[in-house]
Every structure is written in C-alpha cells, then in structure tokens.
Amino acid sequence: MAILGDEFMTLRLRLSHPTLAVCASMLVIALASGCTGEGSDPKEPSAPASSPEQQKHPSGTSGRTEERLGRQVQEALGTEEVSDSDPLFIEAGVERVSDGFHTEPELTRGRSYRLAVACAGKGQIVLSVAGKDPVRQKVDCDGVPLRQRLTASGAKVRIDSEAVPGSTGMVAWRLDKVDK
C-alpha cells in the first residue's frame, strides 16, 4: 500500500495488490471496533470514563451531591411523593441552581395560592414572581423553605429563579391552591 500526496496535500490510496485491499479493509474494521470502548476481553465489562461522583456539572457540583441536595429540597417541600390526584396541588419541580426554574402556571383569577421554594447548596438565588404586584427577593441556599401566598390577578403568573454568581446546589418549588 502506498500513500501519495499531490501539491494540494490531498491523500490518495493506491493498492498494488488485491491482498493489500483485504489488509486495508481489516485494518479499517480493527480501528473502528477499537473505538467502541470495548475491552480486549469480551467477558470483562469496560470501565466507565468516570463514576457519577466524579462527573461534574459546569456549576461545579458532582452528580452525587446534586442527588443529595435534590432529595433535601424535595423533602423540605413535601414533593418527593406528591400526587396529581391532590385537588390542591398545582405543580412542583426541582432544578440545578445554575439552571434556575421558570414556570408560567395558569391560575384562576382571584384565587389564592401558596408558593414554596427551597434551595440547598451554597450561595443564594433570586426569586421573581411577575404578576400584578411583582416580587423579587433573594433566597439563601440553606435548605429552609420560603413560603409565600399569591393571589392571581390574571390568568398567567411568571415565576423564575436565577443563581447569584458563585451559587451552586439544587432548587425546588411547589405551588398549591390555598384551601378556603
């Protein structure tokens, strides 16, 4: 097998014998199968590149830490086993602090609701509730839930959180109707 280059540096493959074509084909197959991450012994599983504890999110929080903090904020708000069949429950969720959460639930005008937000990790988030009377306040990422009562003045209310620079962890929210 000979590799020739022309003046434009384009590589060309020239095979001088049919056996070389077979060898080249086998080499391509060997190289392609070697890139699959399989070990040399098919009975032996290949090791992952890194374990979940070592995998880091760009925010600097490990997967295991995110799981722990996620459970912590869900437990603080009682959302780990929330049921859609609960007539007072509207919505809930959990996100990374660095990603924030953004929701625009459809609420009944004049009805009262209870918003609960918990952040666990390091730093603070800024909670924004855009409605008739916009609210913007900082919440510490200490795992303690902030509870706030809302009265819907329109069909849509926008609720957002964003990380204060340098903050890491998990944030959860829960929105329920207030029982009259």
Mean pLDDT of the chain: 76
Residues paired with residue 149 on neighbouring β-strands, in sequence order? 114
Total Cβ atoms within 10 A of residue 88: 11
Is pLDDT at 65 greater than 90 in this prediction?
A: yes
- pLDDT top residue among 83 and 123: 123
| Closest to 131 measured CA to CA, from 111, 116, 147 | 111
| pLDDT tens digits along 100-159 | 999 999 888 889 999 999 999 999 999 999 877 788 999 999 999 999 998 888 767 899
**Is the pTM here over 0.75, yes or no?**
no
pLDDT of amino acid 60: 54
Beta-carbon contacts of 134 under 8 Å, excluding residues fewer than 6 positions away, are: 128
| pLDDT tens digits along 115-132 | 999 999 999 999 999 877
The model's confidence at residue 8, banded by pLDDT at 50, 70 and 90, is very low
| pLDDT tens digits along 26-51 | 444 444 444 444 444 444 444 444 44
pLDDT of amino acid 80: 82
pLDDT of amino acid 54: 45
Do 69 and 119 form a contact (C-beta atoms < 8 A)?
A: no
Residue 68 structure tokens: 């722990």
pLDDT of amino acid 155: 61
Is pLDDT at 170 greater than 90 in this prediction?
A: yes
pLDDT of amino acid 63: 87
